[in-house]
Each structure stands twice: as C-alpha cells, then as structure tokens.
Amino acid sequence: MTKSGRTKQTMVITQPAKRILNPFDDTIDLSTSDGPKIYKERTRLLEEKYNGTPDKVIFFQTNVIDASESHCWSSIYKLRQDGELVDLVKQPGKISLVDLK
C-alpha cells in the first residue's frame, strides 16, 4: 500500500523489437564517427512544440509517436502495469503521477 491508501502497482518498461538496418536500435558508440551523429539525430527536438491547447493534442501525440518509433525510444512511455501495457502518450492520465513516481 502507498501513503495514499492505494495498492502498490508494478510497472515494467517494455523494449521494442529490433528492426534490421535501423541505426537507432543498437547502443550508440560515441567513440565512432557515426556515434555522435546518430545521438544528435536520436535526441533532436520535435519541430513543433505543443502549446497545451486541446485542438493541438492529437497533432502533438502523432508527432511524439512518429519520432519515438523511428528513433526507437517509444519504450520510455510504454509501461506494463499489473500485466497491462499502458501507452502514456495514447492514454494520458491512465496512470497517476503519484503511481509513476
């Protein structure tokens, strides 16, 4: 039980399957000539920022999903909670901030 009286939930970060010929699937070796280039591309900011308005939320979610899937970091917002896969981008609010901490 947590301090709020809720049952403690278990969360597991899932890893996506590796794709052939995608440089973002492997560990980035910064000592190589391509390593810093891959890192810079993989951590590039989204071109358009989310302004917090409801009319832009779908556009923002789509941009995050597209970027994360192409750069293989979608696992940071997909958690397994009590056996159920929760996508924090597609299901905002499904897991409370208290439970995420």
pLDDT confidence of residue 25: 64
Note whether residue 6 is domain-resident: no
Element (H, E) at 59: helix 57-71
Eight-state DSSP code of residue 7 = P
Mean predicted confidence (pLDDT) in 47-57: 86
pLDDT tens readout for residues 53-101: 889 888 888 888 888 888 777 777 888 888 888 988 888 888 888 888 7
Note whether residue 87 is domain-resident: yes
Structural domain including 17 reads 11-100
Average pLDDT, whole number, for the chain?
77
Note whether residue 3 is domain-resident: no
Report the domain count for the chain: 1
Cβ neighbours of residue 45 closer than 8 Å, sequence gap 6 or more: none
Q: Locate tokens 């440089």: which residue?
A: 23
Note whether residue 53 is domain-resident: yes
Instruction: Please name the amino acid found at residue 36.
Output: P
Note whether residue 2 is domain-resident: no
Mean predicted confidence (pLDDT) in 21-26: 61
Q: Is there a contact between 86 and 14 (Cβ–Cβ < 8 Å)?
A: no
